[in-house]
Amino acid sequence: MQSTAPVPPDPGGHAPRRWLVPACVLSTVAVLVPVLWVTGGFAETPREPAKASGQAVDLGLFSVVVRDARVGRAAADFGTGRQRFLIVRLRVLNQGKETVSLGIGGLTDGIAARTRTGKWVKPDQMEGIAGGAKTATTQPGLPVEASAMWKMGPADAPRQFVVGLRRWEYGHGFTDSSFRWQVDLEDGSFAGRLTLPVAAPARPSVTPRPSVTPRPTRSATPRTRPRITPKPTGRR
């Protein structure tokens, strides 16, 4: 029989022995799967890459450097007085060609913090300083020192704070054909995720009072009147 001749059918009516290779593969997978499960080989890849504080994160419309997180008090919106916040300090650079707000519709939409239940929430308010003056917007090419703030209760004292930075895309929406920068608030992925240690609030310094030297007490000894010597008269 030539080597190129077709394989004759099994005279016993059995199917060709084609299951040997799949059986070997299945046996290998059966051994490999538990190992991968233990070592995390099939674990889901995080959708947001971890970043370090002080490192610039490119968000498309913005370049953001997350500095640190701390607990502090600040004036709340709508004149409700000073409240307790968890404050994340940022350095923001507008990489677009137009002025963009720091608040709703702007930078605030691209920043979120993860709660204990795993939900991501936007900052309650945002403040910025550019050129030594307060600002609520970002100008193209002008760095802004911003503070993203989340309200806290009187007893909240987290040791870590997880912040996610969303990426902005330049395109048009479903209902209009004009191109603009947009961020998808429903997308659970982030351009960067940072786990920040939370610094404790600084205690107000107490200036020591100067020591007071006690005054000497007056003596209780009664004063004695001096004797009055009579003046001599002119008579002898």
- Residues 89-122: pLDDT tens digits? 999 999 999 999 999 999 999 999 999 888 999 9
Band (pLDDT 50/70/90 cuts) for residue 38 is very low
Q: Given a cut of 50, is residue 169 above it in pLDDT? A: yes
pLDDT of res. 231: 64
pTM: 0.65
Contacts of 51 (CB under 8 A, 6+ apart): 57, 66, 165, 192, 193, 194
Q: Which of 110, 131, 130 is nearest to 120 (CA)?
A: 110
Q: Given a cut of 90, is residue 87 above it in pLDDT? A: yes
Report the relative pairing of strands 160-165 and 111-114 from DSSP bridges. antiparallel
pLDDT of res. 81: 84
Which range of 51-65, 66-80, 165-179 scores highest in mean pLDDT? It is 51-65
CB 140 within 8 A of CB 116: no
Band (pLDDT 50/70/90 cuts) for residue 209 is low
